[in-house]
Amino acid sequence: MSTKRTLLVTGAAGNLGRQVVEQLLATKAGSIIATTRNPEKLEDLAKRGVEVRQADFASPESLTKAFAGAERLLLISTGDLFPEGLRLSQHRNAVKAAVDAGVKHLLYTSAPAPHPTPKGALINDHYWTEQAIAASPLEWTILRHHIYTDFLVGTLATALKFGVLSNSAGDGGNAYVTRADCARADAAALASDFSSRRILDITGPAPITPSDLARLASEISGKPLKYQPLSRAEHEKMLAGVGLPPFLVTALADFDEAQSQGHLAIRSPAVQALTGKAPQSVADFLKSQRAALTAA
């Protein structure tokens, strides 16, 4: 692996992006460019030798300037989920800017089993972003991050308050993966010598069902928790009832439907192959969060 290449991480002030940059610094992977809307948030990284640049995904011209000089670029999907179509437009701008800036290899943090949907949705954004990347002249790596294990803490803590975990995933498994493992895999892929095109599922070690989650959370917290499966309509009504906006209700129900159909039960060796270390299991992660679960 060359240490002279310039590696760029977008969204570097976010939870994932910052961890990726930290991994690159720890491994002395090369020259690092970190882009963000708010450079002041990365002053600490700038003091450690990272070149911090401002990047506005709404302006393709500014992105081309921000990406200049980068050989390999990690495009972290943005958090601008609303209004419909905004995030996809941002991603398309970034792909075009990467081409115009002379980037050689583009990496993108996608989602499991992306597919087109009749209406715009979270998974729809990922599908069409992947299509834009595939249609470009770039070399690329698609990193399909599965659902973050980290999100389970809040979900299970809330469920433990009522003694019931409810969703519409049925008996489907989900290969949850920690954000930290995704960051390690992303950094390793960005710093690698791979120079063609590939799709990698970034998953945890094994899929786990909602019933498994309820059992684990109960064992760890010492509190009773049972799983109550819902229909999609029932689940959407429940999500809307707690005040979630319609697009997010649809997105969450879409993921549960995909899980119920087996699309999220993919088990991939990518994390260990990229990093040399196995991903953390859901059980081990939840045990590390015992205090949060017990407090519920």
Q: Rounded to whole angstroms, what are the CA distances from 257 to 81, 150, 167, 261?
A: 20, 20, 10, 6
Cβ atoms of 10 and 37 within 8 Å: the answer is: no
Q: What is the pTM of this model?
A: 0.96
Find residue 201's DSSP bridge partners: 144
- Residue range 165-182, pLDDT digits in tens: 999 999 999 999 999 999
Domain boundaries, the chain: 6-145, 148-177+205-264+280-296
Residue 59: the pLDDT is: 86
Q: Are strands 72-75 and 6-9 parallel, antiparallel or unpaired?
A: parallel
pLDDT for 95 beyond 70: yes
The percentage of the chain sitting over the pLDDT mark of 70, rounded to a whole number, equals 97
- Residue range 251-290, pLDDT digits in tens: 899 999 999 999 999 999 999 999 999 999 999 999 999 9
Distance, CA of 181 to CA of 183 (rounded, Å): 5
Quickly state the pLDDT bin for 25 (edges 50, 70, 90).
very high
DSSP labels for 61-83?
Answer: HHHHHHHTT-SEEEEPPPS---S
The neighbour count for residue 155, using CB atoms within 10 Å, is: 13
When the candidates are 1.20.210.10, 3.30.70.260, 3.40.50.1820, 3.40.50.720, the CATH number that belongs to 6-145 is 3.40.50.720
Quickly state the pLDDT bin for 117 (edges 50, 70, 90).
confident
Distance, CA of 76 to CA of 16 (rounded, Å): 8
Residue 60: the pLDDT is: 85
Residue 251: the pLDDT is: 87
Mean pLDDT taken over the chain = 95
- 6-145 and 148-177+205-264+280-296 in the same fold: no
Residue 296: the pLDDT is: 66
Place of tokens 């493992």: 181
Residue 1: the pLDDT is: 42
Q: Which has the closest alpha carbon to 17: 107, 113, 126, 97?
A: 107
Average pLDDT over residues 122-131: 94
148-177+205-264+280-296: in CATH 3.40.190.170? no
Distance, CA of 114 to CA of 249 (rounded, Å): 18
The percentage of the chain sitting over the pLDDT mark of 90, rounded to a whole number, equals 88
pLDDT for 140 beyond 80: yes
Residue 120: the pLDDT is: 61
